[in-house]
Amino acid sequence: MIQTEKIKELVERRAAARMGGGQKRIDAQHQKGKLTARERLAMLLDEGSFEEFDMFVQHRCTNFGMEKTKYDGDGVVTGMGTIDGRLVYVYAQDFTVNGGSMSETMAQKICKVMDMAVRNGVPFIGINDSGGARIQEGICSLAGFGEIFERNILASGVVPQISGIFGPCAGGAVYSPALTDFTVMVKDTSYMFLTGPGVVKTVTGETVSQEELGGASVHASKSGVAHFAAENEEEGIRTIRDLLSFLPSNNREQAPFAETSDPAGRVDDALNAVIPDNPNKAYDMYQVIGSIVDDGRFLEVHKSWAKNIIVGFAHMNGRSVGIVANQPKILAGVLDINASRKAARFVRFCDAFNIPLVTLVDVPGFLCGTQQEYGGIISHGAKLLYAYGEATVPKVTVTLRKSYGGAHITMSCKQLRGDINYAWPTANIAVMGAEGAVEILYSKEIKSIEDPEGQAKKAMEKKTEYNDLFCNPYNAAGYGYIDDVIEPRNTRFRVIRALEQLAAKEQKNPWKKHDNLPL
């Protein structure tokens, strides 16, 4: 009989814990267009795979009458489960319990599953929906944040870390997502900022809404803090699942192989005509990416930020790859501060997790002007240069059209240990374009001609001469800096064959405690 009562008590406590802050607060959550923590985990994980830890943990605070109200779980659901059969560790903050605010015990629960993820070499996913630090706990709440941040740092480059921002995330809480590899936000219902609109109004006099200050659209398009901005929570969770399908479980494994019926030898005649005759006319790099990857499937990262460069994941003959490509349709594909930061971060992630890099180059140079120089384009451009130079994963580069100056070097050239460097016949690889080169090299000679018509004729003659010498792929190929000039229609086959050749590549950098990336 006693045993029966004990079991009944267990069942009742589990049921109560699963209700979080109670039905009224659950209804309030739904009225905001938001799911509960457990509903989110049920959608994220394979059905029936979730195993919860620390369901009966309660806070220990006795300040401000807090001892009178306690909930099992204390505002966060933690545990393990599977996504497409692969083990992951997870937490989801429960806004129905004390607004999901961070307590000492909540931090301990989160830290426990983070430690498990690192020990077992398994991805870690956190879903944030919190009012921030639990003020009643004072320094203990802040200490909890610090413990989480330290684990984010130590886990970086060891296991993939993904953050879902599905509600408020403010103050110190924003730094955990910022330390993880990828952040997914939900439009209209999630926001991130260090100080809220009220404080901004008091300090600066600026009136701004939560959405304008730190909404998903802002961070996806202006700051680059958010890698993905989903229309709703369901799309956000699908994005996390999709992202994970391209990633290995840890830094010692390869990404899972994806079965495909798309032939490795498939050719696309349309690529032979994709480059316009006019070198100053734009074309869409997405057409090239869609043509060469398996089944045209491409998961773009930072789609709405720094759109002059494209980064994202795809499969090529079933193998996971990271794609980096200049976008001629936006700012002519030039490298600027944000594009350099965006691509450098992505390249370093791929290198940390054994994901080969495929780089598609059409870059006229770095963006000029006082705004860029004052903003530190030299240091930011160096980040991308550094990222490619230190990367030891297989690197296959295809130059489609322009590849000029320092930007040529930066975009995974042979001197940065590019393994296989191809070029299309339309490639121009030089210090600069003919227009600028002739202006520098022959300015005095041209201006010495008194007749304007004669000046124009001489300038055109020198441009043709410069183009013949340098603005083609064969000069670089003649020095071995380009391994082969390939027909565009065969790009998919040639890249796949290069990746297969490099599958067993081993390359190590000199021993160091850590590098000194130009941050």
- Helix (H) / strand (E) element for 224: namely none
**Are 475 and 249 in contact, with CB atoms under 8 Å apart?**
no
pLDDT at 383: 97
- Helix (H) / strand (E) element for 204: namely helix 197-204
**Are 185 and 229 in contact, with CB atoms under 8 Å apart?**
yes
Domains 2-244 and 269-432+472-501 share a fold: yes
Exactly one of 290, 405, 406, 436 is catalytic; which is it? 406
Residue 407 annotated to the active site: yes
Q: Going residue by residue through the chain, which has 519 residues, state the pLDDT in tens, using 9 for 90 and above.
A: 667 888 888 898 899 888 888 899 899 999 999 999 999 999 999 999 999 998 888 777 677 767 667 777 788 999 999 999 999 999 999 999 887 788 888 999 999 999 999 999 999 999 999 887 787 777 888 888 999 999 999 999 999 999 999 998 988 889 999 999 999 999 999 999 988 888 888 898 889 998 999 999 999 999 999 999 999 999 999 999 999 999 999 999 999 999 999 999 999 999 999 999 998 899 999 999 999 999 999 999 999 999 999 999 999 999 999 999 999 999 999 999 999 999 999 999 999 999 999 999 999 999 999 999 999 999 999 999 999 999 999 999 999 999 999 999 999 999 999 999 999 999 999 887 777 777 777 777 777 787 777 777 777 777 777 777 777 899 999 999 999 999 999 999 999 999 999 999 999 999 999 999 998
Residue 172 annotated to the active site: yes
Nearest alpha-carbon partner for 98 in 126, 69, 127, 78: 69
Nearest alpha-carbon partner for 367 in 411, 331, 326: 331
Exactly one of 226, 407, 434, 459 is catalytic; which is it? 407
pLDDT at 486: 98
Exactly one of 157, 172, 375, 405 is catalytic; which is it? 172
pTM for the full predicted model: 0.94
CB atoms within 10 A of CB 161: 24
pLDDT at 469: 78
**Mind spelling out the 3-state secondary structure of 245-290?**
CCCCCCCCCCCCCCCCCCCCCCCCHHHHHCCCCCCCCCCCHHHHHH
CATH level 3 topology of 269-432+472-501: 2-enoyl-CoA Hydratase; Chain A, domain 1 (3.90.226)
Question: Which DSSP letter does residue 369 get?
Answer: S
Question: Which DSSP letter does residue 87 get?
Answer: E
pLDDT at 517: 92
Domain ranges, ordered by start, for the chain: 2-244, 269-432+472-501, 434-470
Nearest alpha-carbon partner for 106 in 96, 90, 93: 93
Exactly one of 20, 171, 333, 381 is catalytic; which is it? 171
Q: Where are the alpha helices (DSSP H) in 391-483?
A: 405-410, 434-441, 443-447, 452-469, 473-478
pLDDT at 141: 81
Instruction: Give residues with Cβ within 8 angstroms of 174, minimum separation 6.
Output: 192, 193, 194
Residue 65 annotated to the active site: no
Could you give the 3-state DSSP secondary structure of residue 200? Answer: helix
- Backbone dihedral angles phi then psi of residue 43, each to the nearest 5 degrees: -75, -35
Tokens of 175: 């730094």
- Backbone dihedral angles phi then psi of residue 188, each to the nearest 5 degrees: 75, -20
Homologous superfamily (CATH) for 2-244: 2-enoyl-CoA Hydratase; Chain A, domain 1 (3.90.226.10)
pLDDT at 72: 78
How many Å separate Cα 7 from the centre of its chain? 47
Question: Between the CA atoms of 429, 430, 433 and 436, what dihedral angle is there, to the nearest 10 degrees?
Answer: 170
pLDDT at 65: 66
- Backbone dihedral angles phi then psi of residue 518, each to the nearest 5 degrees: -70, 80
| Distance separating alpha carbons of residues 492 and 171, to the nearest angstrom | 46
**Are 225 and 212 in contact, with CB atoms under 8 Å apart?**
no
Residue 339 annotated to the active site: no
| Distance separating alpha carbons of residues 308 and 341, to the nearest angstrom | 12
Instruction: Give residues with Cβ within 8 angstroms of 62, minimum separation 6.
Output: none
| Maximal C-alpha separation, the chain | 113
Instruction: Give residues with Cβ within 8 angstroms of 20, minimum separation 6.
Output: 26, 36, 37, 38, 71, 73, 94, 96, 97
Could you give the 3-state DSSP secondary structure of residue 155? Answer: helix
